[in-house]
Homo-oligomer: A and B are copies of this chain.
Amino acid sequence: MKHSATVQTQFLSVEEVRTIVSHLGVAQTLHRMADYIRADYVRWPDFDKCARVASHSKDGVIELMPIADASTYAFKYVNGHPRNHLVSLPTVMAFGVLAEVDTGIPLLLSELTLTTALRTAAMSAVAARVLARRNSKSMALIGNGAQSEFQALAFHHLLGIEEIRLFDIDRAATEKLVRNLGHTALRLVRCENTAAAVRGSDIVTTVTADKTNATILTPDMIEPGMHINGVGGDCPGKTELHPDVLRGATVFVQYEPQTRIEGDLQQLPTDFAVTELWQVLRHQAPGRTSEHQVTLFDSVGFALEDYSALRFMRDAAGELGLGQSVSLIPELADPKDLFSLIRPGIGALALAA
């Protein structure tokens, strides 16, 4: 344990995370975040894990996602409100904290809305690197909303994807993506529907937002050797894949107890076999075993990625000398004398201490 009575929580606002990303560039940010995620998944048994705690309401969900190893505790607050765009708010908003296990001090408070989009894309790439065919060059991207550019760039920079085949029921979303990524080396192909986008693609990423049991992908669309990166089905009652798409694939998950509740996996019996990704990353289970196999990563967003993302942002902020300090926790001369904070007549004096 290394600390004094000084309790300062480092704060990374949206502006500071933007500065980090613009300083490093998106490619390096995604590369490094993927390295942090991979490094943490490889030491999976070190973590105290639980399914996230969800509070569901009519229009959305608010979740808390805690995780800890022996030295560091992390949690994320995140919502999912698919109708938020109607009031000009993001569907997903998040922030999170790193804390010291030995004392409980919150060390870092950070925005995680932007960071979550980056870490979700990095997580998808970490999975695809061991699950997709090695020579993958094209990816269908179904759902061109807030997360989509991040997915496109992660697969571009971390897997060498050259062509992205786009479809969204909201044509304006696709045009926004094309505007945002038009300057990159990616070949962007607008498609008329999901089937046209998927046809001939090496990888299929679904990242749609509706809180319904949708059927974005049906078995007739799936071709041998495809890797499916299912990102949008991540909540009870919110799925994207026909159950036979899962039955026809080898299915990989982050944390099985959570994915059974939240993933597209929720549609299948509880004895349907899946493999946790950490086992593949530690070479304890096979990933892809043939060119013809269909692989499926049923991504739901697990607390460990946020732990990794918070670690990365803290380190990157340190390198760049970024970050403010916030007074979340009182500093006390005598830790048993909390009352000293409000003892009449001591106000100004203690405030200056």
Residues of A within 8 A of B (CB): 1, 3-5, 7, 11, 13-15, 18, 21-22, 26, 48, 50, 53, 55, 57, 59-60, 62, 64, 66, 68, 70, 73, 75, 77, 79-81, 84-85, 87-91, 93, 95, 97, 99, 101-106, 111, 113-114, 117, 145-147, 149-150, 170, 173, 176-177, 180, 183, 326-330, 332, 334-344, 347, 351
Contact = CB atoms under 8 A, between A and B. Distances in A.
Contact of A18 (B13, B62, B176, B342): B342
Contact of A22 (B91, B106, B342): B342
A336 B105 contact: no
A16 B287 CA distance: 53
Given A84-B103, A104-B80, A329 B93 contact: yes
Contact of A5 (B57, B89, B95, B332): B89
B73 A64 contact: no
A326 B3 contact: no
Contact of A62 (B73, B85, B145, B180): B73
A289 B293 CA distance: 71
Contacts of A104: 60, 62, 79-81, 84, 93
Given A62-B99, A93-B329, A347-B18, A26 B85 contact: no
Number of copies of this kind of chain in the complex = 2
Nearest to A52: B53
In the A-B complex, the 8 residue pairs with the closest CB atoms: A79-B104, A5-B88, A149-B339, A146-B338, A13-B327, A85-B335, A14-B330, A21-B342
B90 A342 contact: no
A173 B105 CA distance: 23
B344 A88 contact: no
Contacts of A60: 102-104
Nearest to A148: B339
Contacts of A334: 176
Contacts of A87: 1, 3-5, 103
A85 B104 CA distance: 12
B111 A328 contact: yes
A57 B53 contact: no
A59 B70 CA distance: 11
A107 B68 CA distance: 27
Nearest to A80: B104
B180 A343 contact: yes
A338 B147 contact: yes
A214 to B, nearest CB: 17
Contacts of A180: 337, 339-340, 343
Contact of A117 (B26, B106, B338): B338
A64 B53 contact: yes
Given A62-B73, A103-B84, A330 B90 contact: yes
B91 A79 contact: no
A191 B1 CA distance: 36
A339 B121 CA distance: 12
Nearest to A79: B104
Contact of A89 (B11, B73, B103, B114): B103
Given A14-B328, A77-B97, A146 B335 contact: yes
